[in-house]
Structure 1
Amino acid sequence: MATLVPQLDQLVHHYKADPESVYNTWYAGSDARMKAFRAIRLGVKDVVSAIAGGTFGNDFKGSPLEVVLTAITEQKQVFEGAAHPFYWKPKLRIPDIYENEANKKAFGLFLNACLNATKEEQVLTEMSKLAALSIKGLGPAVASIVYFLHPTLVPPFNTAIVNGFNALYGAKLKLGSWESYFAMREAMQRTNEQYRNLLSKDLGALAGLLFEIGSNRLVVEGNAEQALQEVQEKAARASKKRHQQAIADQREASEHTQAQHVLIRIGRALGYDVFVARNDRSRTCHGESFAMLSLSTLPSLNLPPDVQSTVELIDVLWFVKGEPKLVCAFEVEQSTSIYSGILRMKDLAFSVPDQQAHFYLVAPEVREQEVVAQMLRPALQGGGPAFRLGYIPSGELKEQCDALCRYGVDSSVLLKLARSHNLA
């Protein structure tokens, strides 16, 4: 199978230049993508622990695997249907990892091995071993999970990506075939080596390009002659949908920035030092620069390097003035992954258990039921006093901002706004 595609240079340039392509809205332009990696990795560890401990359950719903796939599907676009292959279908007995204990254990061992793998050969060996077991209904869709463990080695796998691959390479790969997946991965690796300067070492960039082609937003030359009108109509519908999504994302980004700005204002008014997520420091709101209003570096909390990098992505942190003493942590979730935000704060809470800080999710009122459902997950129970988690409606926070700034004495003023079943 040839891997050098003559028109690929042109397609990549168009892909990267389009502000509404998945390259710009997901791969390179999405903070949520980078934030998701550690959260998904932690979720996979929970799946492994649940299977090993006999608490995994016999259904997808309510299982720790559902948490992982929820975090993945919340990446939108490329991963919208990633959870579907893992839904338990009792009549078909697929995927057969819920009621078959041997298959369940094999799946857990596979995930654990991928978590601990450090070399390409190890990952591919584990995938080959899983494929050889021929577990009914459990196919290469698992690659969408493994991608978040090894993004430079394993590309995600779904209908649009396969369709895009077939259109670009003139291939006839099948969606549920492990043989097809391994062939696609190898071809993508070779292509990625040749075009790395245009794309990335991370295979998500190339997978996004294939997704665009498979979704008919990019048309491959020669392919358009096969039912040109149908392709153009599909491309128009896809572009319209993407445009609407891009507008919604822009609105969400604006609302997220406004909520961060409110939290910065309140924190400073209460006399605290404020730290804003490192990837948000360049933002401005109402003419005020976040970089000018917040600390330039995270106060020293003596965190492990992996936890430090995660904590630096938490939306807003309040500290006692001039001291490395955490007071409050906030994750703003307008429409993004609630569970991922909780895991980032839980990471921090369990790393500084002696600081007795409060942790808050800030989200619109329409998401309150979703927030509560996530807070009630078994993985968050039994956290003890070190993880006091509350929910603050973003609309109320914005409405009460001036009053909180004017009359608030310390962080306890937030307790009047927060709604929580376990807030101490």
Structure 2
Amino acid sequence: MDNHYIADRIRAYRADTESVYNTWFLNNSERLKAFRTIKSGLTDVIRSIEARTFGNDYKGSSLEFVMSAICEQKQIFEGAAHAFYWKPKLRIPDIYENDVHQLAFGRFLKAVQQASQEKQILEEIYKLDNMHIKGLGPAAANIIYFLHPTLFPPFNTAIVKGYNELLGQKIKLGSWTAYLEMREGLLQMNNEQRSLLSNDLGAIGGFVFEIGTGRLIVSGNAERVLESEAAKQEKTRLKRHTEIMNDIREENAHSEMQYHLARLGRSLGYKVWIAQNDHKRQWNSAKLGELSLPALPPLQVSKAAFDTISFIDVIWLDDENRMIAAFEVEKSTSIYSGILRLYDLALSLNEPECSLYLISPDGREKEIQAQLLRPSLQQNNAGHISYILFSDLQCECDAMCKYGRSHEVLEGISRKPVRS
């Protein structure tokens, strides 16, 4: 395929305001949070496998949290979890009932997480592939991507289809060998088109994904797109447009909640920290960064934990820089990630009195309750996370600012899931 033609298609990909390049790859706020959240969640998966508490089902497992956080990363990862669902009739993927395979999967994840070189990761992939674990294929590459985004691209059916249609290849799904062959082709293309793409292989992964879905037309998929029903194509376009509009509304609601929490915290006499990546966002004609400390004060935690904490949506600190309360504002796709970040914060802090809150859209209250009641969370002592509904914070913020004296004012509007 001519490099000039590929460059032209990449420019079209970048110019499409509703492509995953613009709606996901350049959305640094959620992407940066996702990398930290997924890496932290993966540590729990490894720990539970090593402790032999992982369980014999995907549902409710620590792996479900990780894969759900990956799936939250928009269209390109929408079905990433399907390969890990436990299918009892087929006994796949065979990592839930087979102890040897489960331990091998845990060793693979741990080795990949700790690896610093491409060669090390490839060796672990070959080791896992040689185990011939039924139903466990290159879908795990989506996990590797979030650990090593400059070395391994994401993987799904549309990405493979788009790669084949762009380059006239016949890469097949389901084998590590095929994935690694596609990876080599993507690395070469990415190197040749570096000025238009990125060191992060999510950009080129999104490019071939858009070809595979038929959103970006190339000679290799033109006939397929033309044969598709016009109504189906229009339905796909409208679905993407609706998702983008919903994202915009949610971003506005997210900023509004951060604004109310910052205003309330300051009125109660606390210092306020707003996630660094949100400082430029605005609500009510005010930049959120103007309500925040310019930098998060030093904390007695590891650098990795500090980096995670710096992306918590809102934090209240007292005059001695002790954390009084931390808040994660949830949207339609981030409940798993928010819980994991708060859980990670709880494990990192030496301040057990710090109150942890999820700020939830009203329509998601039942889901919030169900998530907080998961056995895996209860076992990990994360049950002290409370939640506050958007409407309660909106309606009561002014009164709490006027009459509140400490963070305890939140007890009037915060809730906990009801345990049987």
Q: In which range does the TM-score fall when normalised by the shorter chain?
A: over 0.9
Per the alignment, residue 273 of structure 1 pairs with 271
Give the deviation of 1:354 after TM superposition: 3.2
Aligned 8 A contact 2:60 2:376 in 1: no
Give the deviation of 1:192 after TM superposition: 1.3
Give the deviation of 1:69 after TM superposition: 0.9
AA at the equivalent of 1:296? P
Per the alignment, residue 412 of structure 1 pairs with 408
Give the deviation of 1:387 after TM superposition: 8.1
Per the alignment, residue 244 of structure 1 pairs with 242
Q: Give the aligned CA root-mean-square deviation in angstroms.
A: 2.1
Matches within 5 A, 1:275-424: 275-320=273-318, 322-354=319-351, 356-381=353-378, 388-420=384-416
AA at the equivalent of 1:417? I
The alignment's TM-score, normalised by the length of structure 2, stands at 0.94
AA at the equivalent of 1:307? A
Give the deviation of 1:289 after TM superposition: 1.7
Aligned 8 A contact 1:5 1:168 in 2: no
**Identical-pair percentage:** 50
Give the deviation of 1:233 after TM superposition: 5.7
SS across alignment from 1:400: helix
Superimposed CA distance per residue, residues 167-192 of structure 1 (whole angstroms, 9 cap, x where no aligned partner): 11111111112221111011111111
* Structure 1 residues 227 and 145, CA gap change in structure 2 (3 angstroms): closer
Give the deviation of 1:418 after TM superposition: 0.8
Q: Is the aligned partner of 1:41 residue 2:39?
A: yes
Counterpart Cα distance in 2 of 1:42 and 1:286: 34
Give the deviation of 1:377 after TM superposition: 3.4
* Structure 1 residues 247 and 376, CA gap change in structure 2 (3 angstroms): same
* Structure 1 residues 147 and 227, CA gap change in structure 2 (3 angstroms): closer
Aligned 8 A contact 1:270 1:405 in 2: yes
AA at the equivalent of 2:114? N
* Structure 1 residues 231 and 218, CA gap change in structure 2 (3 angstroms): farther
Q: Which moved more, 1:267-276 or 1:78-87?
A: 267-276
SS across alignment from 2:194: coil
Give the deviation of 1:346 after TM superposition: 3.0
Number of aligned residues:
419
The alignment's TM-score, normalised by the length of structure 1, stands at 0.93
Matches within 5 A, 1:167-316: 167-225=165-223, 228-230=226-228, 235-316=233-314
Aligned 8 A contact 2:360 2:390 in 1: yes
Give the deviation of 1:30 after TM superposition: 4.7
Counterpart Cα distance in 2 of 1:231 and 1:364: 37
AA at the equivalent of 1:409? R
AA at the equivalent of 2:163? F
Give the deviation of 1:234 after TM superposition: 5.1
Give the deviation of 1:421 after TM superposition: 5.1
SS across alignment from 1:219: coil
* Structure 1 residues 241 and 5, CA gap change in structure 2 (3 angstroms): farther
Superimposed CA distance per residue, residues 185-233 of structure 1 (whole angstroms, 9 cap, x where no aligned partner): 1111111112222111111111011111111110013531456242866
Aligned 8 A contact 2:327 2:358 in 1: yes
SS across alignment from 1:115: helix
In structure 2, list runs of 5 or more residues that go unmatched: none
Counterpart Cα distance in 2 of 1:258 and 1:68: 28
